[in-house]
Amino acid sequence: MKLILLGAPGAGKGTVAKLLTKMDGSVQISTGDILRAAVAAGTELGKKAEAAMKAGDLVSDDLIMGIMADRLKEDDCKPGYLLDGFPRTIPQAEALKTMLAEMGEVLDCVVNIDVPRDVILDRLTTRRTCTDCGEIYNVKSNPPKEEGKCDKCGGPVVQRDDETEEAISNRLDVYNEKTAPLAGFYEKEGMLLTVNATSSDAVIDAVKAKLGK
């Protein structure tokens, strides 16, 4: 399947993407994960992206489109892809539309995961992430078995730099201003599936129903 997962930070895009990859071998592509890996590795891309990310601002559209133009051409995208955290602005959505048309690709749909702001705030402040493999934990509902250590790979489980209260509040404002308008964009394209759900299983069920799986 070829999907865009739209939703505020903390709406559950990553969790839903991981569950969907298990259904048909589609690959999860998270621009946030790609950027965090670049920052950790100290690459040119990482150096360019680091300050904006730490403040909870968006990285420039040019940088993101450069990453995605290469990423979508990789072999593992052939069975399908779940775009998690991309596109995030109208110019990115326009550029993606052109890019897909050139590649002869058609998306199945755009899943807009709509979660109330208080649930999002609670999730983001209690979320913890493995810096090695990206596995997500929650200090209240899903802590690692051993504190600070990833169950899957043994890597360090920490709070992300952009999950301080100040950066979270900025990320949500940036989402409302720059990314929320994408729902209208894809509505007009006839591709939008909005799911009001706080459980990822409910989102998966809605996607399955929409795609007839």
User: Does residue 93 bind ligand AMP (CB under 6 A)?
Assistant: no
Alpha-carbon span 37 to 97, nearest angstrom: 26
Is 48 known to be catalytic? no
- CB closer to ligand AMP, 150 vs 208: 150
Q: Which of 36, 88, 123, 128 is catalytic?
A: 88
DSSP 176: I
Q: Return all residues near 113 (Cβ < 8 A) that are at least 6 apart.
A: 5, 6, 7, 11, 12, 13, 16, 195, 197, 203
* Count, residues in the chain: 213
163 is a contact residue toward ligand AMP (CB under 6 A)? no
Residue 113 three-state SS: strand
**Total number of residues that touch ligand AMP (CB under 6 A):** 18
Residue 94 or 205 having the CB closest to ligand AMP: 94
Determine whether 127 is an active site residue.
yes
Stretch that binds ligand AMP, among 58-66, 105-113, 149-157, 190-198 (CB under 6 A): 58-66
Find tokens 């299983």 and name the residue: 201
Q: Considering beta carbons, is residue 1 or 67 the nearer one to ligand AMP?
A: 67
List the one residue from 123, 127, 128, 171 that touches ligand AMP (CB under 6 A).
171
> 147's torsion region: left (phi>0), alpha (psi -120 to 50) or beta?
beta
CA 8, chain centre distance (Å): 9
- Cβ(207)–Cβ(22) under 8 Å? no
Q: How far is the CB of 33 from ligand AMP (least distance, A)?
A: 7
Among 20, 58, 82, 197, binds ligand AMP (CB under 6 A): 58
Q: Which residues bind ligand AMP (CB under 6 A)?
A: 9, 31-32, 35, 52-53, 56-59, 64, 85-88, 92, 162, 171
